[in-house]
Structure 1
Amino acid sequence: MRLAGSFLWLLTTVLLGRFVSAAPTTKPKPRTLTMPIRSLHRSVDTTADPVTIYQQSIRKAQSRYQRIAQTISAKQQTDINRRYNTPVEALATFKANAQSDPNQLDVVSPVNDSANAGVSPLDIQAAISGGITPPTGPIAANSIGLGIVGPDTGYIGIVEIGTPPRQFQILMDSGSADFWVGSETCQVEGGGGCGNHQFLGSQSSSSFVASQQPFNVTYGTGNVVGNLVEDNVVLAGLSLPSHPFGVANVESSNFAQASFDGLMGLAQSGLSQQKLPTPVESLAAAGVIDQAIVAYKISRLADEKNDGEITFGGLDPTKFQSDTLVQLPNVNQQGFWEIQLDAVSVNDQNLGFVNQTAILDTGTTLFVAPPDVVNAIHAQIPGAVPSSGGFTVPCTTNASVALTIGNSSFAIDPHDIAFLPVNPNEPAGACTSGIVSSGTQSNRWLVGDVFLKNAYFATHVNDNLILLAQLS
């Protein structure tokens, strides 16, 4: 399908490059807004043996998926958030193996760009040491570049909050709809501080307005508890004065140990546990942007392009092929972004699955599908082997896994299927698969960054639409 009507007009405006300046005016005007994203990487426990850790990661992926199904059927629990554990534990396995061979970096060979010679040494180094890879562009008008922390495990944006404004690193999440940061009095469950983060409160912000209204968000792998507040929020120079959101007085340990200072949900506000508008909805309601649109270009560390970005209010035509853009209705009624899938194929062989849907979630690293789908996919990948409840695949795989969506085929890069080598000393050996089982038979998939790195992805709140296009 192609864009039509009023949205076609919006797309034409964007494609012609009619980005409006972000400079303040006496009267707010519709404009396109972009902001930076960086990848995130979490602290992990490397004490368990690799097999145990991988088994735990599969079990947790299954419990996450079951929570999603309960969320949607009950119309009560409102966030997906099973997203953290599986990649964290895969990284823990990897780091444990790296520690067993202190010379492993000396034997990592560079990847040949002309063929898949194994996992990139950039990913291996990032998995071991973390750190942010800075953006190098190219950067479009009204866009700010994407830096990457770790081997593509998640993405955070820089948001200015308070007076004077301070920068907070915020997880950008299309699979939830609540916005929060840690409070100045934040404590981790069981006692102790909430880590080396930026915190918000009356001591650091003169525009901070507290309330006694409770804020409590429960995720699949943790929770935050605090109060609703109001403060000034600035996204790429555009202001949301006195915007309502949450501050966490208590965080579960996974949030206290995370690399981000808070989380911004960018699903529809009907999913919000606090029943508050999302920042993009507030920007549109204030006339700062023309439509409540969020567009994502997710980068891959191994490509060394570092050109990712998130755009509010429109699309960046430099990031996608305009003639491949497809418009899809959102088939979810609770606020997730969910599309109908036409087919899944491996090496051009249609696996025959019909009546399937997929929730598109930037906050999930991996590709999560029902067991029959995952088994069928790996059965067609040469060298795939069941392992500790999941699968390993050759790090050198060239298998082509593709989703047909809106009569267009979107292929997953083989480097995204081979998540990380089981042994960092063997970048061309066996890799944990980026495609994992939900553990529950269903027609619903949870599609994260393993897929989304391979497409330009946008959501349109006003028209309840999802857009996908081939990357430029």
Structure 2
Amino acid sequence: MRWLVVVGLVALSECLVRVPLMKVKSMRENLEENGMLKEYLEKFPYSPVKFLSNDQNKKVTYESLWNYLDLVYVGLITIGTPPQTFKVVFDTGSADFWVPSILCYSDSCDTHKRFNIRRSSTFKFPTRLVHTVKLRYGSGDILGIVGYDTLKIGDLEAFRQAFVQSIWQDHAFGSLAPFDGILGLAYPNMAHDRRTSVFDNLWKKGRISENLFAFYLTSGGKRGSMLMLGGVDHSYYSGELRWVPLTKQQHWQVALDRITVNGTIIACPDGCQAILDTGTSLVDGPDDDILNIQNIIHAQHIFNNMYVIDCNTTTQLPDIVFVIGGVNYPVPARSYIRKSNPLGTCISNFKTLPDMFSSNIWILGDVFLRVYFSVYDRANNRVGLAPAI
């Protein structure tokens, strides 16, 4: 479970940094067009990338994101001097920061931008002995070495930022993955040794004014997806933010009261847990509950973890309502159903969890987070949700 996106805010601020959005094909679309999706999902059944105020004086940094057909959001960062540019997933479901290295010997690195230590005058190895670290994701592993260099996100700079340079990575991160690396935004105790936590580095060195960040994810190919670092731009949501305390300070995990359809409980009847994960494309849940939802929306199993629906019936499907902190968060059919142009079918965006997860856990990925603007408040260990504009 790992994946991701990023950026900052505050209207009327002259310090606002905006990076234009671009749209490219998603890995799933590439697989569909090449007739490889079924084979890929059988080999790699789970996602490869895993797990405030309106004060004009506050400095907020904006980082623009790409919307990959409502499946993957990435933004640009640079590392080194002179800067080397990478496309990364900003992932609240993981904490490590990595990009491919020029030293990588696996084929999956060949089609991605790779960091060249010889071209950066500011790169440093750790003072102690260099050793290999292993990062584990839902569909594969990364092997790499830790180094230090200057990281830039928009106009924010983090000097001597630790990061992992992959020297080997599984095929799941290969040519069809529309990103180079991952920048984790979960709690630092999830990182392999806490050194690679970018957000903590920015906060401790005074680069951001508030100890929080926020995501605005667009849908339907619209431009404007944004990661906000150090503040919240209230123009991106309607109503008020509803704050929910974390139940665990590793992932961004909260209590989920229940899941309903038309007022009837269909899952999580006695309460369960939910993780807000920008690095996960879909909504993942326990087998029995997901199967119940697929039956309610009349989705038919075709292979692996994929269910399809008659596109002519989608306008008649009900909202799936997630109740969090006593507040209803409905997700309409237009959000949980995706039309696949290559296949000419409509696909359910609900998926069963890998066996590694508890049967009491739900992963609320981009399907949920496109509907609701989300704020991740490290200072108070809570998340805020409000309907996205």
Give 1:216 deviation, angstroms: 2.2
Give 1:326 deviation, angstroms: 0.9
**8 Å contact kept, 2:50–2:93:** no
1:56 paired to 2:31: no
SS of alignment partner, residue 103 of structure 2 = strand
Deviation by residue 1:336-356 (Cα, 9 ceiling, x = unmatched) = 111111221224433262211
Q: Where does residue 260 of structure 1 map in the other structure?
A: 179
SS of alignment partner, residue 236 of structure 2 = coil
Give 1:195 deviation, angstroms: 2.1
Sort the Cα spacing of 1:410 and 1:394 in 2 relative to 1 into closer, same or farther, 3 A.
Answer: farther
1:297 paired to 2:216: yes
Q: Where does residue 103 of structure 2 map in the other structure?
A: 185
Q: Which has the higher strand share?
A: 2
1:109-148 alignment, distance < 5 Å:
142-148=61-67
1:287 paired to 2:272: no
Sort the Cα spacing of 1:326 and 1:286 in 2 relative to 1 into closer, same or farther, 3 A.
Answer: same
**8 Å contact kept, 1:35–1:310:** no
Which of 263, 276, 294 does residue 195 from structure 2 map onto?
276
Sort the Cα spacing of 1:288 and 1:19 in 2 relative to 1 into closer, same or farther, 3 A.
Answer: farther
Partner letter of residue 259 of structure 2?
V
Q: Where does residue 90 of structure 2 map in the other structure?
A: 172
SS of alignment partner, residue 217 of structure 1 = strand
Give 1:253 deviation, angstroms: 2.0
Give 1:240 deviation, angstroms: 0.7
| Number of positions where the alignment pairs a residue of Structure 1 with one of Structure 2 | 360
Q: Where does residue 367 of structure 2 map in the other structure?
A: 450
Q: Which has the larger radius of gyration?
A: 1
Which of 315, 329, 334 does residue 415 from structure 1 map onto?
334
Q: Gaps (5+ residues) in structure 2? A: 1-8, 52-59
Which of 240, 265, 278 does residue 350 from structure 1 map onto?
265
SS of alignment partner, residue 206 of structure 1 = coil
Q: Where does residue 317 of structure 1 map in the other structure?
A: 234
Deviation by residue 1:23-75 (Cα, 9 ceiling, x = unmatched) = xxxxxxxxx8776776672353877787x549738x824xx7xxxxxxxxxxx
**8 Å contact kept, 1:36–1:309:** no
Sort the Cα spacing of 1:238 and 1:448 in 2 relative to 1 into closer, same or farther, 3 A.
Answer: same
> Percent identity, aligned pairs only?
25
Partner letter of residue 365 of structure 2?
G
Partner letter of residue 110 of structure 2?
G
1:471 paired to 2:383: no
CA distance in 2, matches of 1:225, 1:54: 22
RMSD between aligned alpha carbons?
3.0
Partner letter of residue 200 of structure 1?
F
Q: Where does residue 435 of structure 1 map in the other structure?
A: 350
Partner letter of residue 310 of structure 1?
L
Deviation by residue 1:255-295 (Cα, 9 ceiling, x = unmatched) = 23222121101100010023225211111111111333121
* TM-score, scaled relative to structure 2: 0.82
Deviation by residue 1:52-110 (Cα, 9 ceiling, x = unmatched) = 549738x824xx7xxxxxxxxxxxxxxx9447xxxxxxxxxxxxxxxxxxxxxxxxxxx
Structure 1 consecutive aligned stretches of length 4 or more whose deviation exceeds 4 Å: 17-21, 32-40, 45-50, 52-55, 80-83
* TM-score, scaled relative to structure 1: 0.69
1:228 paired to 2:143: no
Give 1:386 deviation, angstroms: 3.8
SS of alignment partner, residue 291 of structure 1 = coil
Partner letter of residue 260 of structure 1?
F
Sort the Cα spacing of 1:434 and 1:336 in 2 relative to 1 into closer, same or farther, 3 A.
Answer: same
1:384 paired to 2:299: yes
Partner letter of residue 133 of structure 2?
F
Q: Gaps (5+ residues) in structure 1? A: 1-13, 23-31, 65-79, 84-140
CA distance in 2, matches of 1:193, 1:174: 24
Q: Which has the higher helix share?
A: 1
1:248 paired to 2:196: no
**8 Å contact kept, 1:394–1:418:** no
1:330-349 alignment, distance < 5 Å:
330-333=246-249, 335-349=250-264
